[in-house]
Structure 1
Amino acid sequence: MTTRNLTCATTAGLSRAVRALAREHGLDPAVRARLVLSVAEAAGAALRAGRETGLEWRYDPDEGLLTVGLRTPGDTGPVAADLPMAPDAVTEGEVIWRLPASPPSDAADEAPGEAPDEAALAAEELRAVVAAADALTSEHRRLNDELAETNSGVLALYVQLDERDKQLRTAHGQTLRELEDALRPPPIKADGLELAVHYAPAGTDAPTGGDLYDWFVLPDGTVHITIVDALGHGVTSTRSALNVTHAVRTLALEGHRLESIVARTDEILRPFDRSVMATVQLARIDAATGELWLANGSHPPALLLRRDGSARYLEARGRGIGFPLPGSETPLTERLAPGDLLLLYTDGLTESRRDPIEGEKRLIEAAHKHLQSPIEEVPGAIAEDMHTVILHPDDTLALAVRLTGQ
């Protein structure tokens, strides 16, 4: 392995020498061009200062490596980090490149500074660089075409998925409506009474929740209404609420006193599901006389709005299903007059802003606003007014009863 060296005083001379030795060792023209530019740039500061630079190279036939070293005497400043060809080593006063190369050709006997066809070699390097740039441009164009084709395919797939999602949402919505209808008791006809209900679950992804109602006409002609708010959301709470409404209906039809039904319901359900917790509001209305009886189990009070505009909450005492000492005290009694509006509801109606007291005030205002509206519009319109701002989403149930006197 023979080491050769050369001293250069100009950038042109240094470039010719590097170009010649690179040609002798069969470096690719594009690699050669990078090496020539890098050596010239690394030596630029020393040459501009009038100091000669030393070029040293050797070829290792065992490893097939050409080592090119550039010696720059004096303080020539740091070597640029963005040289066209990054050096393999940088020491004080020397920059070294190591490149895979071929054994020196016959041209190796010529002095590097006198390498023939300098212009031809430079042109060859330029062509190689241009070819590489053209190849990159072509590859970039190909990748852009593939990307555009991929984007087109992704867009088409997105459109298909969006259409499929719409179909699924439509089918899902239909299923939810059918499930809600299955859970909703059939409308009842009671002379002298108008009834309407509004229900909305806490989230659109759940068909129902723990808020349920039941209404039916008892054998004596009075109308029974049950409002249940079971703990939790979704189908699990729906099951609990259904168990409560079914038990209450059975007990009411068997003739149990209104004030005993909440406690008896808790006794019936406790052996089957100890996790059930629910608030309950029970109402009995005699449309002929206007008499109203209310029994409560930890549920929000009913709102009575008289036809003259006066309003008050009907507070009946009691504790809910699954609560300590569940049951109702003596039912609260009231007499309705024609045109009076009774509103039974769950806490999702008044606690959407996390302030029950403020919610009860707004509920009176909303009920006043819709007092004379058709009964089928009243619960939904009140719920819409109450939910202009929702900070605490919850299942919501509102049931309106109006005595017509007919």
Structure 2
Amino acid sequence: MNPHTFHDLPALRRAVRRICEAHRLPSRTGGRLVLSVAEVAGAALSAGGPVRLETAEQTAPGGSTLLAVTLHAAPAPAPPSPAHLPLPGRATSDGAVAWHLPLGEAQEVPPAAPRGAVPLQGRVREAETAEVYEAQLAALEGDLAAALSRVDTLTTELHRLKDELAETNSGVLALYVQLEERDEQLRRAHGQILRELEDALRPAPITVDGLEFAVHYEPADTDAPTGGDFYDWLRLPDGTVHITVVDALGHGVRSTRSALNVTHAVRTLALEGHPLESIVAHTHDILAPFDPEIMATVLLARIHPGTGELRLANGSHPPALLLRADGTSEYLEVRGRGIGFPLPGSESVRETTLHEGDLLMLYTDGLTESRRDPIEGEARLVKSARAHARRPVDEIPGAVAEDMHTVILHSDDTLALAVRRAAPGTGTHAGG
């Protein structure tokens, strides 16, 4: 404890500045302490009473060192609030004001005066009277107080702006998350509606004695299930089963419309009794005037349930795969050009016979060209069809598609349709 009594502000200010220099307080902290002590002491000194200044080093609970500065002053008519001083203090029980300042941190070290140089205060005192010096010093302290007040105001404003910015960013982020969730919900709802509409456009299931049917469709984009891969099956008046597989160029609603136009035109021609070998060309002649940009590949199959006779026509479509009950396989190639192609039509009709247990796979190129290599895809299709040939027919197309799409380098709509000849008295159907 080192108490000193003062009767005027200049001596008190000098004492406080010496304390700040001796303990190497930061200049901003020292300036605030000088202003605060002068503001508290000024009211008491103006009333004619002395003030007493005490300093002591104390140890805080955490082990750090504090400088305790305590100012004892006689009661004044309107004393300043310790909490609103430039350097806020704390009122003690005996009416004094105390400041506790941390020591031992990196402090600003004032530059040492050159040897032989006269201190600034000495030069000023030599050049001016003490009254003028103190008046100037008071003015400087007033400017310093105003500057510190401005700093405090700007600091408070900065913190407020940071808080507002943080709240704004949080709100924007929350809104972004909500928009993303809403967008995802809309995409799913949109996809579900399109999927239901497309499913409604697919042909009704058929049941034929001695034949088992199943189909699997997989869009390239689950959120946009429309596409140009379509099929149709129906039983003709003579009892044979007609199957159409179409792959219209492109994706989305336009390709769906093209595929539907093709299947409807083929169905009409088949029911009118047109020869199988002429239907691809006639379909082109019907549709081209209404849709000059239409392009679609098409595969047509006719199966006699009683005899197993199979007839195929093709317009630029991947060939059907026939897997015999004994494990042998064959791609049933038929030359031809699709709808919208130059010289459209099937060049011939391929004929063969389905025996009991034989499996026929009709499909679109999305099944075999997912890795951009049709030859490699056809080899994998044979292997997969053999692996699943003994399963229930309604499981075969989906299982084969899963095998073929373990690695997808080229995403495309996929259609896989399976027909298996069963023993007489049995037969299944599957919807689209």
So what's the TM-score if we normalise by structure 1? Answer: 0.69
Q: Within 2, Cα distance between the matches of 1:200 and 1:171?
A: 18
Moved more, 372-381 or 213-222: 372-381
Q: Within 2, Cα distance between the matches of 1:386 and 1:137?
A: 65
Q: 2:257 aligns with which of 220, 230, 239?
A: 239
Equivalent runs, 1:107-122 vs 2, <5 Å? 115-122=133-140
Q: Within 2, Cα distance between the matches of 1:145 and 1:347?
A: 58
Q: CA deviation at 1:389?
A: 1.7
Aligned to 1:164: 182
Aligned to 1:260: 278
Aligned to 1:71: none
Structure 1 counterpart of 2:182, one-letter code? R
Aligned to 1:292: 310
Q: CA deviation at 1:50?
A: 11
1:224 counterpart = 2:242: yes
Q: Within 1, Cα distance between the matches of 2:350 and 2:335?
A: 8
1:381 counterpart = 2:406: no
For residue 210 of structure 1, give the secondary structure of its aligned residue in structure 2.
strand
Structure 2 counterpart of 1:197, one-letter code? V
Number of residue equivalences: 307
Q: Within 2, Cα distance between the matches of 1:48 and 1:340?
A: 109
1:340 counterpart = 2:358: yes
After superposition, what is the alpha-carbon deviation per residue over 1:262-296, rounded to whole angstroms, capped at 9, x for unaligned?
A: 11111111222221111110001112111111111
Q: Within 2, Cα distance between the matches of 1:390 and 1:301?
A: 21
Structure 1 counterpart of 2:161, one-letter code? L
- Conserved? CA contact 2:240–2:303, under 8 Å: yes
Q: CA deviation at 1:129?
A: 3.7
Q: CA deviation at 1:116?
A: 4.1
Structure 2 counterpart of 1:120, one-letter code? A
Q: Within 2, Cα distance between the matches of 1:213 and 1:269?
A: 17
Structure 2 counterpart of 1:364, one-letter code? V
- Conserved? CA contact 2:187–2:223, under 8 Å: no
For residue 348 of structure 1, give the secondary structure of its aligned residue in structure 2.
helix
1:180 counterpart = 2:198: yes
For residue 263 of structure 1, give the secondary structure of its aligned residue in structure 2.
helix
Aligned to 1:123: 141
- Conserved? CA contact 1:200–1:208, under 8 Å: no
Q: Within 2, Cα distance between the matches of 1:366 and 1:236?
A: 32
- Conserved? CA contact 2:191–2:222, under 8 Å: no
- Conserved? CA contact 2:195–2:226, under 8 Å: no
Q: Within 1, Cα distance between the matches of 2:217 and 2:322?
A: 20
Aligned to 1:401: 419
Structure 2 unaligned residues grouped into runs of 5+? 1-110, 118-127, 425-432
1:204 counterpart = 2:212: no
- Conserved? CA contact 2:357–2:421, under 8 Å: yes
What percent identity do the matched residue pairs reach?
A: 71
Q: Within 2, Cα distance between the matches of 1:291 and 1:245?
A: 23
Q: CA deviation at 1:343?
A: 0.7
Q: CA deviation at 1:387?
A: 1.4
Q: Within 1, Cα distance between the matches of 2:200 and 2:141?
A: 86
- Conserved? CA contact 1:287–1:405, under 8 Å: no
For residue 250 of structure 2, give the secondary structure of its aligned residue in structure 1.
coil
Q: 2:163 aligns with which of 145, 151, 156?
A: 145
- Conserved? CA contact 2:232–2:245, under 8 Å: yes
For residue 232 of structure 1, give the secondary structure of its aligned residue in structure 2.
strand
Q: Within 2, Cα distance between the matches of 1:389 and 1:130?
A: 69
- Conserved? CA contact 1:200–1:397, under 8 Å: yes
After superposition, what is the alpha-carbon deviation per residue over 1:7-61, rounded to whole angstroms, capped at 9, x for unaligned?
A: xxxxxxxxxxxxxxxxxxxxxxxxxxxxxxxxxxxxx9xx98999xxxxxxxxxx
Structure 1 unaligned residues grouped into runs of 5+? 1-43, 52-109
Q: Which structure 1 residue ranges, 4+ long, deviate > 6 Å from structure 2?
A: 47-51
1:215 counterpart = 2:261: no
Q: Which has the larger radius of gyration?
A: 2
Aligned to 1:134: 152
After superposition, what is the alpha-carbon deviation per residue over 1:121-150, rounded to whole angstroms, capped at 9, x for unaligned?
A: 443344334323322321122123323432
Q: Within 2, Cα distance between the matches of 1:185 and 1:163?
A: 35
- Conserved? CA contact 2:227–2:250, under 8 Å: yes
Q: Within 2, Cα distance between the matches of 1:364 and 1:246?
A: 31
For residue 365 of structure 2, give the secondary structure of its aligned residue in structure 1.
coil
For residue 343 of structure 2, give the secondary structure of its aligned residue in structure 1.
coil
Q: CA deviation at 1:195?
A: 1.1
Q: Within 1, Cα distance between the matches of 2:148 and 2:242?
A: 91
Structure 2 counterpart of 1:256, one-letter code? H
1:350 counterpart = 2:368: yes
- Conserved? CA contact 2:327–2:386, under 8 Å: yes
For residue 372 of structure 1, give the secondary structure of its aligned residue in structure 2.
coil
Q: Within 1, Cα distance between the matches of 2:150 and 2:360?
A: 85
Structure 1 counterpart of 2:212, one-letter code? E
Q: Within 2, Cα distance between the matches of 1:270 and 1:324?
A: 12
Task: Tell me how large the CA RMSD over aligned residues is.
Answer: 3.0
Q: Within 2, Cα distance between the matches of 1:321 and 1:132?
A: 82
Q: CA deviation at 1:256?
A: 0.8
Q: CA deviation at 1:173?
A: 2.9
Moved more, 297-306 or 152-161: 152-161
Equivalent runs, 1:62-77 vs 2, <5 Å? none
**Shift in alpha-carbon separation, 1:351–1:170, aligned structure 2, 3 A:** closer
**Shift in alpha-carbon separation, 1:133–1:374, aligned structure 2, 3 A:** farther
So what's the TM-score if we normalise by structure 2? Answer: 0.65
For residue 321 of structure 1, give the secondary structure of its aligned residue in structure 2.
coil
- Conserved? CA contact 1:338–1:405, under 8 Å: yes
**Shift in alpha-carbon separation, 1:323–1:49, aligned structure 2, 3 A:** farther
**Shift in alpha-carbon separation, 1:365–1:126, aligned structure 2, 3 A:** farther
Q: CA deviation at 1:120?
A: 3.1
Equivalent runs, 1:356-371 vs 2, <5 Å? 356-371=374-389
Q: Within 2, Cα distance between the matches of 1:371 and 1:272?
A: 42
